[in-house]
Amino acid sequence: MMPDNLAQIFAAAELIDLSSDIGDHAEGPFTTRIDALEPEPGADFFCANVLPKIAAHAVGRLNAADFPDSAFLRHEMVHASVHAGSHIDAPGHYGPAADGVRRDINDAPLRSFYGPGVLFDLAKPDGEIVTRADIELPEGTAPGSIVLIRTGGDKAIAAEAIEYLLDAGITVIGTDGASFDGPFEPMIERFLAGDRAALWPAHVLGRHRPYYQIERLANLDKLPAAGFFVIALPVLIAGATAAWTRAIAVLQS
């Protein structure tokens, strides 16, 4: 049974959906495709393609017309990157770890993905980078809090800003951008202009200092600066270094 105080907290709370969907569209270099099977053709599909695999002796004896209303069940097949929609990157995603230990998303302790939230509302003009000077945690911020950074777009977050948060005991950081390192094209242009450290610095930092990134969050503009709780559990995907999440914020009324 849920403790009375916890039940009361959720009964009086406002839930804010912080997630963006996994849609039938392109996201950066990746294309998501959702193949939908409707009930009527689904009955024929089941009899022709599924039945022979699970009950071959019933082929020819169970037909589409035998289903109630001559219809099967709706079904969708999703073909998507684990970086589609709102998702969590584990340290294993960032490349070879300095200590040689690969950390997949399923290795992450679930306790890491719920905790008090802190929001930095830093909507930046195109091309600007969120810097260390933009980030100052409120006094008393507890280690293990979840920090969310609203950039208002797809802006990079400087490695120095992330290191400051890691020094404070923050291991889960989220943003509304598609990548902590911003769009690919300007990052590559900085490299071509001579910046040898321009390639995915926020990600590469995680090789030496493991932490979790939550990318493609939504509705961060609906949150206060503090006083809310974040829950963003990763989907359990075997052998993956990232996973989708349905992230929410819990606000006390």
Tokens for 98, please give them.
């300095």
Burial string for 110-145 (b: 16+ CB within 10 Å, else e) reads eebbbbebbbbebebeeeebbeeebbebeeebeeeb
Q: Are strands 172-175 and 146-150 parallel, antiparallel or unpaired?
A: parallel
Q: CA 149, 204, 158 angle in degrees (round to 5)? A: 35
Name the pTM for this structure.
0.91
52, 59 in Cβ contact below 8 A? Answer: yes
Residuewise pLDDT in 10s, the chain (253 residues): 445 677 777 778 899 999 999 987 767 778 899 999 999 999 999 999 999 999 999 999 999 999 999 999 999 999 999 999 999 999 999 999 999 999 999 999 999 999 999 999 998 776 789 999 999 999 999 999 999 999 998 889 999 999 999 999 999 999 999 999 999 999 999 999 999 999 999 999 999 999 999 999 999 999 999 999 999 999 999 999 999 999 999 998 7
Domains and CATH numbers, the chain: 4-23+82-252 (3.50.30.50), 33-79 (no CATH)
